[in-house]
Structure 1
Amino acid sequence: MSDVSLEQAIQDLERIVVELEQGDLPLEQALEKFETAVKLSRVSQQKLQQAEQKVSQLLQQQDGETLAPFAAEADNNQASDA
């Protein structure tokens, strides 16, 4: 499953969510879909982390910059707005 692209994993996750929300699946099938969704979620998270690491490496090579965690950046923006 790790050879799935991020875009394909997200599309598959969205499709599974719709199927599960409809509630028409038998329990066994719903559990299988849920298990697949968890795997796709993990693959997506890994791909995003790999992309973040690559961007960070490229920035460091170029200007010596580093990436700030998004949550910290959002917190700083909210503090300056107050």
Structure 2
Amino acid sequence: MSDLSLEQAITELEKIVLKLEQGELPLEKALEEFETAVKLSRLSQEKLQQAEQKVSQLLQQQNGETLTPFAEQNSSEGDERS
């Protein structure tokens, strides 16, 4: 599973969510699907963190810039519009 790309992991996760939302799976199969979904979610999160670290490293190497967390960026943008 670790060889999946982020896009592949998200696609698989979306398929599982659709199956679970239908509510037609037997309990054992639903639990297996849920377990797979948790693994895919963790994998996706790890891949996003790796990408963020790489971007951060590249920015620091090039310009000495740092990344601003998205939540902080949104709140400061909202303040500028006021």
TM-score by length of 2: 0.96
Question: How far is the alpha carbon of 1:2 from its aligned partner?
Answer: 1.4
**For this pair of structures, how many residues does the alignment match?**
82
What residue number does 1:40 align with? 40
Stretches of 4+ moved more than 6 A in 1?
A: none
Counterpart in the other structure of 2:58 = 58
Equivalent residue, structure 2, for 1:10: 10
SS at match of 1:68: coil
Identity value in percent:
71
1:77: Cα distance to partner?
1.1
Tell me the SS of whatever aligns to 2:72: helix
Give the residue type in structure 1 aligned to 2:17: V
Q: Structure 2: which amino acid aligns with 1:15?
A: K
Q: For residues 65 and 77 of structure 2, what CA distance do their matches in structure 1 show?
A: 20
Q: For 2:30 and 2:13, locate their aligned partners in 1 and report how far apart those are by CA, in whole Å.
A: 13
**C-alpha deviation, 1:81, in angstroms:** 2.1
The TM-score normalised by the length of structure 1 is 0.96
- Alignment-mate amino acid for residue 9 of structure 2: A
Corresponding residue for residue 73 of structure 1 = 73
